[in-house]
Chain A
Amino acid sequence: SQTIHQWPATLVQPVGSPLSLECTVEGTSNPNLYWYRQAAGRGLQLLFYSVGIGQISSEVPQNLSASRPQDRQFILSSKKLLLSDSGFYLCACKPGYGYTFGSGTRLTVV
């Protein structure tokens, strides 16, 4: 079975600072990878997905970007954080029909 590692678990960053969240996957090769954001008390919004190294698709226009430098590594970045970037960020992989989620990163932009 797949395991997804996300770090850090929590992060407090000032407005205008850069961001880098990392996700790595174990137990599968060539997975489809996803970044979701969950605002407080709300559902899951798909931000990016990737079907392979260097292949990134964006679902919504935003202040964030994603990269996939290795098969099982997915990175979420920002050059300058906004207050509205606060939220719970989840990485997921899709080995078949269902998704496996990581434990998430709680980002607070202050």
Chain B
Amino acid sequence: QQQVKQSPQSLIVQKGGISIINCAYENTAFDYFPWYQQFPGKGPALLIAIRPDVSEKKEGRFTISFNKSAKQFSLHIMDSQPGDSATYFCAASRGYGGATNKLIFGTGTLLAVQP
């Protein structure tokens, strides 16, 4: 029930295309869903996040789509660029504050954008 399932494991997209990464969760108590971007040899960095009171959030070329009834959320990268090539992690947590409200991470998606 604590798992967050992420797919695909890897993704190759042409420059200018749309990259789509999907995640699914079981715990309906989760109320915070971030996406992290990680470049090789670096720590993950927060990219965009959504709360379940909205179905979509957009920041620049990055959009989170959230389907509460299906318990799924996805990251869409529009006009994908070679600089977007990285590993992307979805995550979920419950509540605000307190170390026990831990982020549960998906297994990651390695995105390669070909020029």
**Residues of chain A at the chain B interface (Cβ within 8 Å):** 4, 6, 32-34, 42-44, 46, 49-51, 57, 90, 92, 94, 96-104, 106
Contact = CB atoms under 8 A, between A and B. Distances in A.
A104 B102 contact: no
30 contacts: A4-B43, A32-B98, A34-B102, A42-B108, A43-B105, A43-B106, A43-B107, A44-B44, A49-B99, A49-B100, A51-B98, A51-B99, A57-B100, A92-B43, A94-B99, A94-B103, A97-B32, A97-B96, A98-B32, A98-B34, A98-B46, A99-B44, A99-B46, A100-B46, A101-B43, A101-B45, A102-B43, A103-B42, A104-B41, A104-B42
Contacts of A92: 43
A96 B96 contact: yes
Given A43-B107, A101-B36, 13 more contacts: A32-B99, A42-B108, A43-B106, A43-B108, A46-B102, A49-B102, A50-B99, A51-B99, A90-B44, A94-B99, A97-B32, A97-B34, A99-B44
- Which of under 10, 10 to 19, 20 to 34, or 35 or more describes the interface residues of B? 20 to 34
A106 B100 CA distance: 26
B7 to A, nearest CB: 13
Q: Is the interface of B mostly helix, strand, loop or mixed?
A: loop
